[in-house]
């Protein structure tokens, strides 16, 4: 039975994946944060979700990945046509979803290479040998310009902000999800680190990867050109458009757009 399920999932994964969010409402500690989100991200597309601090962007990312403590009160999240709102975070990852955290966690005593191999085995539901995984990892490291010294260190322990985010991009490359949610990957990065991380993400973008890029600033979009841009305020998406929308935001600011839209 389990083998048949694996075969069915394999067949499904040959189709184009889509993350479909409709009427999504959620609250944290009794306070409503998301107030009706409608959004569709398809494999091969890059969507940038922008908005001021406190607008609910990170809450949306955590709800989509099933992080505990976030209460879904209405709406639906479909992935490949399947309602995933009742699934655990690890099950969502196995289906092909990925979340890069705004603040990656340190894991003392666990090397990056061992962490990535464990994550790969868990997500892919297979046991790859250490030698085979090393070969696979090295290919991704070479592509992203990651040095051997970094993967032999403990996960994020003593890492700079840029190294932490680069490690997240390496994890994205190794796991090869179909839809990736990148939560403020540019947060806390200097210009050089931002360029390095953005360049890494750009290398992974293609027909097999859909990206929801959550960002506060336009600067990330200097290196990654999205197909669609959405602006989120007060728990709702208030405006959507093409890459030109980011330039409008640079001129008007979020407050300017808020006034123009009559929000608040």
Tell me what pLDDT residue 261 has: 80
Instruction: Tell me what the mean pLDDT of segment 16-32 comes to.
Output: 94
Tell me how far apart the terminal alpha carbons of the chain are, to the nearest angstrom. 54
Q: Which fold has domain 21-261?
A: Rossmann fold (3.40.50)
pLDDT of residue 264: 56
pLDDT at 253: 87
- What pLDDT sits at residue 101? 80
Average pLDDT over residues 32-39: 97
Task: Check: CB of residue 18 under 8 Å from CB of residue 43.
Answer: yes
pTM for the whole structure: 0.88
Alpha helices in 72-187 (DSSP H): 89-95, 112-124, 130-144, 148-151, 161-175
- pLDDT tier for residue 11 given thresholds of 50, 70 and 90: very low
pLDDT band at 15 (very low <50, low <70, confident <90, very high): low
261 membership: H or E segment, kind and range: helix 244-261
For 51-91, what is each residue's pLDDT tens digit?
Answer: 998 999 999 999 999 998 899 999 999 999 999 999 999 99
DSSP 92-114: HHHHTEEEE-SSPPPEEEEEHHH
Residue 65 makes CB contacts below 8 A (sequence gap 6+) with 89, 92, 93, 97, 99, 181
| pLDDT-derived band at 263, boundaries 50, 70, 90 | low
pLDDT tens digit sequence for 111-121: 999 999 999 99
Alpha-carbon distance 132 to 144, whole Å? 19
Nearest to 63 by CA among 12, 97, 103: 97
All residues at 6 or more sequence positions from 122 whose CB lies less than 8 Å from its CB, including other chains:
90, 93, 94
pLDDT band at 7; cut points 50, 70, 90: very low
Taking 70 as the threshold, does the pLDDT of residue 8 lie above it?
no
């Amino acid at each position: 039975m389990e083998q048949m399920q694996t075969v069915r999932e394999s067949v499904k994964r040959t189709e184009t994946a889509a993350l479909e969010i409709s009427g999504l409402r959620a609250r944290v500690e009794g306070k409503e944060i998301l107030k009706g989100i409608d959004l569709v991200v398809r494999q091969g597309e890059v969507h940038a979700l922008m908005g001021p601090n406190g607008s609910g962007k990170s809450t949306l990312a955590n709800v989509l990945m099933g992080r505990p403590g976030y209460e879904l009160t209405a709406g639906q999240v479909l992935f490949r046509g399947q309602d995933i709102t009742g699934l655990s975070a690890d099950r969502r990852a196995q289906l092909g979803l990925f979340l890069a955290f705004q603040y990656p966690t340190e894991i003392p005593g666990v090397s990056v290479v061992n962490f990535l191999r464990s994550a790969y085995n868990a997500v892919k539901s297979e046991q790859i040998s250490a030698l085979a995984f090393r070969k696979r990892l090295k290919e991704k490291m070479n592509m992203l310009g990651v040095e051997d010294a970094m993967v032999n260190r403990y996960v994020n322990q003593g890492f700079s902000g840029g190294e932490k985010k680069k490690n997240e991009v390496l994890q994205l490359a190794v796991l090869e999800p179909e839809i990736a949610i990148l939560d403020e990957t540019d947060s806390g990065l200097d210009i050089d680190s931002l360029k390095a991380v953005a360049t890494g993400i750009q290398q992974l973008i293609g027909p097999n990867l859909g990206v929801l890029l959550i960002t506060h600033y336009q600067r990330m979009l200097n290196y990654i050109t999205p197909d669609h841009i959405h602006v989120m305020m007060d728990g709702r998406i208030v405006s959507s458009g093409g890459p030109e929308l980011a330039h409008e935001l640079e001129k008007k600011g979020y407050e300017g757009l808020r006034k123009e839209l009559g929000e608040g």
